[in-house]
Amino acid sequence: MSRIVRSPHPFEHFTIDLLNATDEDLREVAETLGLGLNLDELRYIRDHYLIQERKTTDVELQTFDQTLSEHCSHKTFGGVIHTPEGTVDGLLNTYLRGLIDELEPDWCYSVFEDNAGIVDLTDEVGIAIKVETHNHPSAIEPFGGAATGLGGVIRDVLGVWANPIACTDVLCFGPLDYDYSKLPAGVKHPSYIFSGVVDGIGSYGNSIGIPTVNGATVFHEDYTGNVVVYAGCVGVLRKDQYIRNVKPGDNVLLVGGRTGRDGIHGVTFASAELTEESEEVSRPAVQIANPIEEEKIKRAIKEVSERRLGSGITDIGGGGLSCGVCETANSYGLGVEAHIDRVPLKATDMAPWEIWISESQERMLLAVPPDNLEEVLQIFEDEQVETTVLGQYNSTGEATLYHHGIKIAQLELEALFNPPKIERSTSWKPPTLEEPEIPEPDDLGAVLLKLLAAYNITSKEKVVRRYDQEVKGQTVVKPLQGWKAGPNNGAVLKPLDDSWKGVAISSGINPRYGQIDPYWMAAAAIDEAVRNNVAVGGRRISLLDNFTWGNPEYEDRLGGLVYACRACYDVGKAYGTPFVSGKDSLYNESPLGPVTPTLLITALGIVPDIRKAVTMDLKEAGNFVYLIGETKPELGGSEYYHLHRQLGASVPKLDADRSMAAYRRLTEAMDAGYVRACHDLSEGGLGVSAAEMAFTGDLGMDLELSCVPTSEEMRDDFILFSESCGRLLVEVKPENKDAFETVMTGSTVAKVGEVKEEATLTVRKGGAILVELPLEELIGAWKTPLEVPR
Amino acid sequence: MKREDIKVLLMRAPGTNCDLETVRAFRDLGVQADLVHVQKVFRDKNLLDYDILVLPGGFSYGDYVRSGAIQAKEMEYRIGKEMVEFVDTGRPVIGICNGFQVLVETGFLPGFEGRSQYPEAALANSSHGYQNRWIRMKNVGKGNCTMLAHVPEDHVISCPIAHGEGRFILPSDRREKLLQRLYDNDQIVWRYVKADGSFADGEWWDNPNGAFHDIAGICNPEGNVLGLMPHPERAYYGYLMPEWTKAGAPETYGDGRVFFDSIVKYVESKF
């Protein structure tokens, strides 16, 4: 006899009898209802209903399914993990949130507890920030997946009452020249995904009128089957606008777009591996974007927020209403009564469970006290946004749902949000890798030109220009510098009309290092993000983590993840940079295997006076060029090795204490006005960085390799292309030479060159000229390879 | 009239998004700038309470159908009469980017014979898709567009463009004739130029969208309705200019200020 029985109600609704259900029965129920719950979770639910002494319903089981999914509950980051070095009770609490308790920053306003992290800009004003992934949907439907990814993260920022002012995007694709004949069934070609994702982000961000100010475009074989789309959003709010005070009797107000069948089981899909059938099975999981709807919502919420009329807010994203409604009730220690049939629909024949879990876009949930309801409804009406009062919060501790007056679910929130922690074990062994033997090249200039044209270094102008970078007129340091459009280290925004205070946004990502060592990959990503931030004038930096990893149920993948988290803790502590928000995307596996372990670090810094912000272009002939930091023979995972199709083993190992000390001194030098230009050294090392500074500023540079501080005797090509962490090039006026050197005392720093009028980059060692190239040729190489397919 | 008495109406529709920087520019010049939703303007029908009407950039109603088309039809239907009256009084109307598209769709621009029933020009899909980058445009007007009287002749402004549709074109069978008419009426105001100040001559990059005759902005024959694709409001302050860190002096104003300053000065002296 089937355990699933249709209810007598005049709409689709089922009761499910889980009493004495065997594992086999449970699996069958899960499969019939399309649930992603594992056996342990199903047993937990069965036992819960045994105590409740009643049958469950489809709506209830679907709610458990959504809430317990990896996407919503982050059970891997919350679970107990047995590692060779001991047991970790929660990666998030131990390493990421744990850092906050350790550092005790008094400028973190709200971290890891809401839709977005909030830090102080001034005493009264806070900056909210969140970065999300939208990988799985983008693999299936690149345009829609990427667009809704951006839409979702903007709602996260709205979901802390903040007004969004900027977006970020970091995109990771397979090689654009990937051999079509090697593509497995179900995997779309990187160039198709690339154009769809770039257009999707552009279409959403441009239409809603939020500038995209920072990002990266990265290429790696492993992203062929697992495209990675990171979208971030920064918002601003007065801190007293951050109201979270929901009381029994407050209204549950749904605002925004209508609910449809787009985005059913999105979180279940996001918490599973991609397969050949994903296209067909999971297409409905990808939502459809309507940026103008969100633009209207944004205006209305800004108004409600400024007038402080709501008592709580959250976005409707993964898990749909089921998560939004239940999570808010649970987080305020309340219960809730909601009427599903009031939800405005795109398709009128939807079953209640579908309405309840649909992830249709552009919807937000507000809690509104009865006295303010009329005013709030008027605000949304003025912006032409549809609103629905779904029900009220109460003090029952339960979510009770009705459809046309008939009770269809009664969920005990305590049980819903406190499932048993998962327990897993790890193993991770360093891969056996060797240092390649690469013959020393005769012509370093030719190598430099090749590196500038490498996909991971080449100009991303053709992507960046698709996005509005300066709408709102607050982008002070833009992603591309000046008329030559060189790559700035980070963006600087001026969010307040009446203050010169700014925020700096930057990022760090090193996919190739992850194949050598996830710990040092994570350390390098944090360093890169922080260094980029410091380079434009940022300080008091907070970080966001976004892990993209393979299936954590495999011990090696999880082992690597644990090491990466440890690096976050270690480096975060040494740098004094707390994590304020984050998001993990696991299960990035495709027929081509797991994704390369990827950690995106986003850094948010404060710039006390944007008039002192620093860009990377050379400013004036005759100025001196200094190199901060030590160069080591660390080319494992470098672009230089990659030119030779080698990975190598000598991954850059960050010396966190020395690096941070140097950054602090550099900041001091910037404040004193000694720094005319500053650029970080990353992919392609010193050679690429020097070339970028020169051609962006349209000024030549003389570089003397024998002056570069190295840890040991090194080959010229290694000095020029090593990717050691912690290094920056700085331009200083001759008259500030002594003052600059005094400020930098204690750190590794050396004058390595000069700015010249003549438009060439010249690299010498002793008397010998190693590289002599016109700027035009350098910028030509840098701008050539990446064509946006049209 | 006194500067502080000048009232600017910035009308926004769902999807309008360059309102913030435009309001900021006008307020910096000491005039009153009200940002009002189109629906409210439709209800209140109080256009004539204002001295300057501005349609800021953005993607009104998602630019579905055609850029600016929905907002244009809605305005025509709801406040068409008031719009005509406003224009007839000689008060300045400025459409930037999407606002320019709305003015073409409503028939106010080019407006050879007064307001036309159907669009007489188009701001079509650009030759290279959506782009946001800086361009240079030259003031080529000979005095008909009176609100720009305080922008020197041949003055070049650097400012950004940010659009996917903005390629100014005229009906191909009458293109040359109509161009002559634009010249005869002194309606061509802004043209894209190269770094040395010479006309872009249709060459991509300096002419960012393939616009006919490098046209970036035009006015009506009477000179009081002006539309342009580039965004002077995003070049209003020094710290928004592309190479301000090299030039120094972020406190000063940017290239775009002269544009707004001229409009305000004109209203100040004329009305």
pLDDT of residue A265: 76
Q: Which residues pair with A314 in a beta bridge?
A: A365
pLDDT of residue A285: 67
A177 vs chain B: nearest CA distance in angstroms?
Answer: 22
Closest CA to A671 of A728, A745, A743, A749: A743
A439, burial (CB in 10 Å: exposed 0-12, middle 13-18, buried 19+): exposed
B218 vs chain A: nearest CA distance in angstroms?
Answer: 23
Cα Rg of chain A, angstroms: 27
Residues of A in contact with B205 (CB under 8 A): none
For residues A40 and A27, the answer to whether their CB atoms sit within 8 Å is no
pLDDT of residue A269: 67
- A622/A627 Cα distance (integer angstroms): 16
Q: Is the Cβ pair A473, B129 closer than 8 Å?
A: no
Does residue B233 carry a catalytic annotation?
Answer: yes
pLDDT of residue A271: 65
pLDDT of residue A788: 40
Q: Is the Cβ pair B59, A207 closer than 8 Å?
A: yes
DSSP letter assigned to residue A93: I
- A724/A630 Cα distance (integer angstroms): 8
Q: Which residues pair with A83 in a beta bridge?
A: A86
- What CATH fold (topology level) applies to the domain A243-419? Phosphoribosyl-aminoimidazole Synthetase; Chain A, domain 2 (3.90.650)
Which residue stretches of chain A have pLDDT < 70? 1, 266-271, 278-285, 787-790
- A480/A459 Cα distance (integer angstroms): 9
Q: Is the Cβ pair A483, B239 closer than 8 Å?
A: no
Same topology, domains A4-73 and A243-419? Answer is no
Does residue B97 carry a catalytic annotation?
Answer: yes
Q: Which residues of B touch A (CB under 8 A)?
A: 14-18, 20-21, 24, 37, 39-40, 57-59, 61-63, 129-134, 160, 162, 164, 195, 233-234, 236-237, 239-240, 242-243, 245-246, 250-251
- A350/A514 Cα distance (integer angstroms): 44
Cα Rg of chain B, angstroms: 17
- A664/A658 Cα distance (integer angstroms): 10
Residues of B in contact with A383 (CB under 8 A): 14, 37
> Average pLDDT, stretch B9-19?
96
- A508/A528 Cα distance (integer angstroms): 5
- B188/B174 Cα distance (integer angstroms): 17
* pLDDT one-digit tens code per residue, B233-251: 999 999 999 999 998 778 8
A734, burial (CB in 10 Å: exposed 0-12, middle 13-18, buried 19+): exposed
> Average pLDDT, stretch B154-159?
98
Give me the catalytic one of A13, A48, A134, A220: A134
Residues of A in contact with B250 (CB under 8 A): 476, 610-611
Residue with tokens 């007489």: B120
Residues of A in contact with B164 (CB under 8 A): 206
- E-state strands within A31-184: 56-57, 80-83, 86-89, 108-110, 117-120, 125-133, 163-173
Chain B residue with Cα closest to A536: B245
- A416/A335 Cα distance (integer angstroms): 12
Q: Is the Cβ pair B250, A611 closer than 8 Å?
A: yes
Amino acid at B270: K
- CATH at residue B113: 3.40.50.880
Residue with tokens 């449809």: A260
- B140/A362 Cα distance (integer angstroms): 44
- Sign of torsion, CA B123 B127 B130 B131? negative
For residues B151 and B139, the answer to whether their CB atoms sit within 8 Å is yes
Q: From the CB of residue A342, how many other CB atoms can be counted at a distance below 10 Å?
A: 16
Residue A128 region by backbone torsions, left for phi larger than 0, else alpha for psi between -120 and 50, else beta: beta
Closest CA to B227 of B103, B69, B129: B103
Q: Pick A614's closest partner by Cβ from B20, B164, B245.
A: B245
Closest CA to A722 of A637, A658, A657: A637
Boundaries of every domain in chain A: 4-73, 243-419, 433-458+616-790
pLDDT of residue A612: 96
Q: CATH classification of A433-458+616-790 is 1.10.3720.10, yes or no?
A: no
**Which A positions 687-716 lie with beta carbon below 8 A of chain B?**
697
Q: From the CB of residue A5, how many other CB atoms can be counted at a distance below 10 Å?
A: 12
Residues of B in contact with A695 (CB under 8 A): none
Chain B residue with Cα closest to A385: B14
Q: Look up residue A105 and give its two tokens.
A: 């920053």
* pLDDT one-digit tens code per residue, B33-78: 999 999 999 999 999 999 999 999 999 999 998 999 999 999 999 9
Q: What are the C-alpha distances in Å from B96 to residues A745, A755, B218, B234?
A: 52, 41, 11, 11
Chain A interface, best mutation among B37, B78, B132, by max A CB count within 10 A: B132
- Helix crossing, A555-575 with A656-671: angle to 10°? 40
Residues of A in contact with B35 (CB under 8 A): none
B26 vs chain A: nearest CA distance in angstroms?
Answer: 13
For residues B55 and B103, the answer to whether their CB atoms sit within 8 Å is yes
A787 in contact with B, Cβ within 8 Å: no
Give me the catalytic one of A13, A48, A71, A679: A71
User: Which strands make up the sheet holding A624-628, listed edge to edge?
Assistant: A675-680, A728-732, A624-628, A749-756, A700-704, A760-765, A768-774
Helix or strand or coil: residue A174?
Answer: coil
- B63/B71 Cα distance (integer angstroms): 9
- A307/A285 Cα distance (integer angstroms): 36
Assign domain A4-73 to its CATH architecture: Orthogonal Bundle (1.10)
Q: Which residues pair with A590 in a beta bridge?
A: A593
Closest CA to B54 of B213, B266, B263: B263
Q: How many domains does chain B have?
A: 1
Q: Which structural domain range is residue B102 located in?
A: 3-270
